[in-house]
Amino acid sequence: MMNPVSRARRLARGVAYGAPALLLVVALVGVDFWPFSAYRLFSTVRSDATSSQRLVVSYGDGTEQAVSCVDHPVLRETMRFVPRLPDVDARTRDVMLGTWFADCNIDGADVVRVRIDKVDRAVDPVTHVTTETALTTVWNEVL
């Protein structure tokens, strides 16, 4: 039977060496699985160009609105799921759109079409004004 000192030292080594080793392995494998992280904070090089996807709704009268108005502290970040819309089933898509529409005060009954635009932007190095340099529709769906 292990004596208390050996047991204490074993626990000490297990945690003191094991925890940093585990952090290192997870980071090198590149896994982000809470509460483990690859710690890729600002790790890519930025340039003057950025790109994002934008959800746009069209109404029956021909007007359009970008769904960028979500203000809910938790739901705001779910807009990162927009690129998934083309791949999900109809029920999931309705739940996703319904959640965002509700927070943006958009009446889903008035919406006839939704689409996702890929927007390329560039920051002018002199004026610091951001301009859209390219717009590509990557998904277009009639509701």
Closest to other proteins by CB, 36 vs 59, is 36
Q: How far apart are CA 112 and CA 47, in angstroms?
A: 37
Of 141, 50, 136, 51, which Cα lies nearest the Cα of 87?
141
CB atoms closer than 10 angstroms to residue 55: 22
Our finding on whether 119 is near other proteins (CB under 8 A) is no
What the block records as the tokens of 138 is: 């990557």
Annotate each residue in 56-85 with x if it binds other proteins (CB under 8 A) or - if it does not, as one string: ----------------xxxxxxxxxx----
Our finding on whether 141 is near other proteins (CB under 8 A) is no
Our finding on whether 53 is near other proteins (CB under 8 A) is no
Our finding on whether 40 is near other proteins (CB under 8 A) is yes
Closest to other proteins by CB, 4 vs 62, is 4
Residues 6+ apart with CB under 8 A from 83: 53, 116
Residues 6+ apart with CB under 8 A from 38: 26, 27, 29, 30, 31, 32
Stretch binding other proteins (CB under 8 A), from 61-69, 111-119, 121-129, 135-143: 121-129
> Which residues contribute to the site for other proteins (CB under 8 A)?
3-5, 7-9, 11-13, 15-17, 19-20, 23-24, 27, 32-35, 37-48, 50, 72-81, 88, 92, 95-96, 99, 123, 125, 128
